[in-house]
Amino acid sequence: MASSATATDMAATATSPARNALWRALTGRRGLGKLLLLAMIAAVLVPFAASRWGSGAWPGALTVDLSGPLGQASNWIIDNRDTHPLFLYFFGWISEGVIVAVRAVYLLLLALGWTGVTAAASLLAWRVAGLRVALTALASFAVCGVLGMWVPTMQTLALMAAAVAASVVVGALLGLAAGLSERTYRALRPVLDTMQVLPAFAYLLPVVLIFGIGVPAAVLATVVYAAPPMARLTALGLRDADHGVLEAVTSLGATARQRLLTARLPLARRELLLGFNQTIMMALSMAVIASVIGAGGLGDRVYQALSTVDVGSALAAGIPIVLLAVVMDRTTAAAGTRIGEEPSGPRWSYGWQAWAGVAAVTAAAVAAGRAASSLTWPGSWMVTIAAPVNSAVGWMTSHLYSGVPVIGGTADWAGHFTTWILDPLRSGLTALPWWAVLLIVAALAWLIGTWRTALTAAVSMAVIGVLGVWSISMDTLSQVLAAVAVTLALGFAVAVAAARSRRVEALIRPVLDVLQTMPQFVYLIPVVALFGAGRAPAVAAAVAYALPAVIRITAQGLRQVDPAALEAARSLGASGAQQLRQVQLPLARPALLLAVNQGVVLVLAVVIIGGMVGGGALGYNVVYGLAQGDLATGLVAGAAIVCLGLMLDRVTQPSSDQAGKER
């Protein structure tokens, strides 16, 4: 058998040396080969497609109008929501359960009073994360009260508590299944990966379709958005558990259950807590965005204020969101890093005594609050910042918006950005023949990944066309491209500076820490204050949101370059620029590619949300669909967002090629 195989090989080599040489030349430059192949396919298909359907924007002959069927479906659901057994006995129960849970948490928080909640949160933070975070928590809750946002804060907290609890349970169960069964993992992973890259807006409409606008829809959208990280990290932790330890445990005769409970889960504690942390952050982010579908609370305040360009009120509600995010992130993150540390300090400060102390002080705080009959934050301690902020914004509008000598004003910049970059980009993209767009997408995805990623990307793009939202998707795409370009240019520059200078790094690290914990929605507030409404502010918010992650990933990649390689280059007399260009950047390539991918995904998420502040395009269609009850328009836009997200992720996803090889 072996000899015959060798003979065939030899025959093949003998008969076609020319073909082999060509093949080798092509495969030697793998990218070139792929491009040539694609060019051949294009040469056959494009003339046909162009003559049959014409060039330019997506041909009408190839679109399918879904608004009719979707509208019917949505009408059917609305008509039958109160009668059909599926709704009565399944979705109805879920909806009821969610309402009861959120209501219960909300009433509990109100019953504890502001004294009780503040004491409980600060003491919890102290136990889990130490004194500094505890003080941050104390100050944060106080600020929420002072800004007059106590009740909305409690509403958001209640919604989040219910959503996080459900997300953690769902995520942990999925993660457990995927962590223990290879088959489940393989089935689940692509789904989770994809969910991770989709903008939050894409999740809103399907939920609204079934549950209608209201708290249940908001909570469920949050659960769908926030559960994947928990599932991913649980699975990861269980699968990556030190193989040697598990083997040792087996060798001592542990049963499967003992192995899971005494070794696998404890070994995965760090990942589990990280998953919890990410789930909380995602849930907060979504709970705020879900104000569009009736979440209420802080997000709703921001949403209402932004829709009337009332920056002052938006800021008053936005600050508590940021503070909540910071407190929750620091607390859960500290829980993760503190694992395995020895308790220290006096005896009363750890163990059950400490927890008893926490309970006692909280009870005392609740009692004190009740005795003073002050359950919500006392009105006399409130400060209204909306008016002064608005007058400040007014001053800015009149003085900084335009006509500032030499540098021009912020509105001028936004205008110029729109005229000189966004508009040409958009008209360029719209003017490109549809098949050229598909080809470019396929080529990019194939160059960096496999034919499979190329196919996914091209098909996603085609689906956008078929859905009939080609031109507004091009509008969104133009904003994404502009924002990504700005993000990468700024991000790489700052990252190189941070990687080369300890001082720069120390300077920007706290800024990045705070920026990375802020929910997407909050970024809209300052850009509206600075630039007004429009497409440029949406792009600016996207840049601001994506920049921290890009800087961080790039700087980390540059700094983690093998010091031996760098030392070798230095010993050969390479200059600083040479080291950067010839050693650091090439070796940090995976990190750079990851930064691009993350940048694109994050930018898309915020560009879509930008629809709320005049960004238009797909995001606006979603908001419009929700506001007007025209779910068909919203759903089509949501589907297009999903496709756009998939396409952008695949076009920039470098890891799939290597991952494919590993498998």
Q: Which helix (H) or strand (E) holds 360?
A: helix 352-371
Q: Which residue in the set 251, 373, 380, 571 belongs to the binding site for another protein (CB under 8 A)?
A: 251
Cβ 530 vs Cβ 401: under 8 Å: no
Does the footprint of another protein cover residue 12 (CB under 8 A)? Answer: no
Q: Name the segment binding another protein (CB under 8 A); options: 262-270, 293-301, 476-484, 525-533.
A: 262-270
> Which residue in this structure is represented by tokens 């907290």?
157
Listed ranges 175-183, 217-225, 249-257, 374-382: which one lies at the site for another protein (CB under 8 A): 249-257
C-alpha 505/C-alpha 500 separation (Å) is 8
The CA distance from 312 to 593, in Å, is 39
Nearer residue to another protein within complex by CB, 257 or 502: 257
The reply to whether 266 sits near another protein by the rule CB under 8 A is: yes
Report, in Å, the least distance between residue 340 CB and another protein: 6
Q: Is 269 in the site for another protein (CB under 8 A)?
A: yes
- When binding is defined by CB under 8 A, the residue of 245, 466, 497, 565 that contacts another protein is 245
Closest CA to 219 of 297, 152, 145, 277: 297
- Provide the mask over 200-239, with x wherever binding to another protein is found by CB under 8 A and - wherever it is not: ----------------------------------------
20 binds another protein (CB under 8 A): no
Residue 277 burial class via C-beta count within 10 angstroms: exposed 0-12, middle 13-18, buried 19 and up? buried
Nearer to another protein, 4 or 373 (CB): 4
Contact 253, 137 (CB under 8 A): no
What does the block give as tokens for 516? Answer: 């990375």
What values do phi and psi take at 473, rounded to 5? -65, -35
Distance CA 610, CA 423 (A): 17
Least CB distance from residue 268 to another protein, whole Å?
A: 11
From candidates 50, 139, 180, 254, binder to another protein by CB under 8 A: 254
1 contacts another protein (rule: CB under 8 A)? yes
Q: What is the 3-state secondary structure (H, E, C) of 467-534?
A: CCCHHHHHHHHHHHHHHHHHHHHHHHHHHHHHHHCHHHHHHHHHHHHHHHHCCHHHHHHHHHHHHCCC
Segment near another protein (CB under 8 A); pick from 39-47, 145-153, 334-342, 641-649: 334-342
Applying CB under 8 A, among 196, 258, 304, 307 the residue interacting with another protein is 258
Q: If binding is defined by CB under 8 A, does position 244 make contact with another protein?
A: yes
Closest distance between another protein and the C-beta of residue 465, in Å? Answer: 44
Q: Which residues contact 173 (CB under 8 A, 6 or more apart)?
A: none
Determine whether 464 is exposed, middle or buried from the number of CB atoms within 10 Å of its CB (0-12, 13-18, 19+): buried
> Which three-class secondary structure state does DSSP give residue 338?
coil
| Cα 462 from Cα 523, distance rounded (Å) | 32
Shortest distance, position 339 Cβ to another protein, whole Å: 8
240 near another protein, judged by CB under 8 A: no
* Residue 234 to residue 229: CA distance in whole angstroms: 8
Size of the site for another protein (CB under 8 A): 23
Which spans in 524-583 are helix H? 524-531, 535-559, 563-571, 576-578
Q: What does the alpha-carbon distance between residue 268 and residue 288 come to, in Å, rounded to a whole number?
A: 30
| 183 touches another protein by CB under 8 A | no
Residue from 63, 67, 250, 402 in contact with another protein (CB under 8 A): 250
Which CB, 62 or 267, lies closer to another protein?
267
**Dihedral over Cα of 300, 302, 304, 307: its sign:** negative
CB nearer to another protein: pick between 251 and 308: 251
Kindly tell me which of 251 and 373 has the beta carbon lying closer to another protein.
251
* 5 vs 44 by CB, closer to another protein: 5
**In the complex with another protein, which residue's Cβ is closer, 344 or 380?**
344
Asked if 143 is part of the footprint of another protein (rule: CB under 8 A), the reply reads no
Give Cα 544 to chain centroid, integer Å.
Answer: 14
How far is 114 from 370, CA to CA, in rounded Å? 10
Residue 301 · residue 149 · CB < 8 Å: yes
Which has the closest alpha carbon to 317: 333, 302, 331, 306? Answer: 302
Only segment of 14-22, 254-262, 434-442, 488-496 that touches another protein (CB under 8 A): 254-262
The alpha-helical segments, DSSP class H, found in 29-66 are 30-53
Q: Shortest approach of another protein to residue 222 CB, angstroms?
A: 32
Helix (H) or strand (E) holding 463: helix 451-466
- Would you count residue 7 as binding another protein (CB under 8 A)? no
Of positions 41, 131, 191, 248, contacts another protein by CB under 8 A: 248
Asked if 10 is part of the footprint of another protein (rule: CB under 8 A), the reply reads no
Q: How far is the CB of 261 from another protein (least distance, A)?
A: 10
Residue nearer to another protein on the CB measure, 4 or 380? 4
CA 256 to chain centre: 36
Taking the least distance from each CB to another protein, the nearer of 254 and 444 is 254
Under rule CB under 8 A, residue 350 binds another protein: no
Instruction: Work out which of 18, 61, 252, 406 binds another protein, going by CB under 8 A.
Output: 252
Structure-token pair, residue 239: 């699968």
Minimum CB–partner distance for residue 496 and another protein (Å): 35
617-628 vs 204-211: helix crossing angle, rounded to 10: 10
Contact between 2 and another protein by CB under 8 A: the answer reads yes
Residue 351 C-beta: closest distance to another protein, Å: 15
Interface region with another protein, contact rule CB under 8 A, candidates 253-261, 405-413, 421-429, 590-598: 253-261
Smallest distance from another protein to CB 244, Å: 4
Q: Report the residue number, 253 or 346, with the smaller CB distance to another protein.
A: 253
Binding site for another protein (CB under 8 A): 1-2, 242, 244-245, 247-255, 258, 262-263, 266-267, 269, 339-340, 342
